[in-house]
Amino acid sequence: MLRVAHQAHSPPAPTELDDATVRRAIAGDHDAGRELVEMYQGRVFAMVSRMLSGRGRATIEDVAQDTFLAVFRQLPRFETGGAARLSTWILAIAARRSIDELRRMRPMLVPEVDRERAGEARGDERATRRELAAAIEAAVRDLSPELRAAFLLREYHDLEYVEIARALDIDLGTVKSRLARARAALRARLAEVGHG
């Protein structure tokens, strides 16, 4: 059973599900399935919500749910104890589902207003942070779905280049060029808000 560390001297919280729990999840154990979702749902929502920025909570939840259903279907093929981390494998599925969703939808769907950002500014620091967040979000939203996925997997989820290549089924050179373009776009946006 996984436990999150709350005390200063406790070991750090695990970032991957242990193999025994994965095997129980494959066998259909309900508790193990729940542990799997709870372990990775934060990362999946982080990926999907940024990929589908502005598409609305309902869509994001649908894609996140769809991701986990795909994970359960494909989990028996995942090699426990192998080189690939389960989190990387799940994020790859989340990225591909998000790309499909972006391709499926028409550009008429536009961002929901973020309540926090739409509210009154409370202090310079908070206002600056909101401005920064808006600039980053805008930069990412300007990227094509494939560029977006590569950028988010690298910069928010710390995947190695080779892991991104495998996740998106592209070669290493393409990963590098996509990341370079995405970073350039980000830097341009950050410069616009004086954070260059």
Say if CB 168 and CB 159 are below 8 A apart. no
Q: 39 is written with which tokens? A: 């372990």
Residue 195 beta carbon to other proteins: minimum distance, rounded to whole angstroms = 6
Indicate the SS3 state at residue 82. coil
Residue 159 beta carbon to other proteins: minimum distance, rounded to whole angstroms = 14
10 or 74: whose CB is closer to other proteins?
74
Neighbours of 160 (CB within 10 A): 12
Residue 5 beta carbon to other proteins: minimum distance, rounded to whole angstroms = 20
10 or 127: whose CB is closer to other proteins?
127
User: What is the identity of the amino acid at 191?
Assistant: A
Cα–chain center distance at 80: 22
Q: Which of 179, 58, 172, 169 is nearest to 109 (CA)?
A: 58
5 or 195: whose CB is closer to other proteins?
195
8 or 58: whose CB is closer to other proteins?
58
Residue 9 beta carbon to other proteins: minimum distance, rounded to whole angstroms = 27
Alpha-carbon distance 194 to 196, whole Å? 6
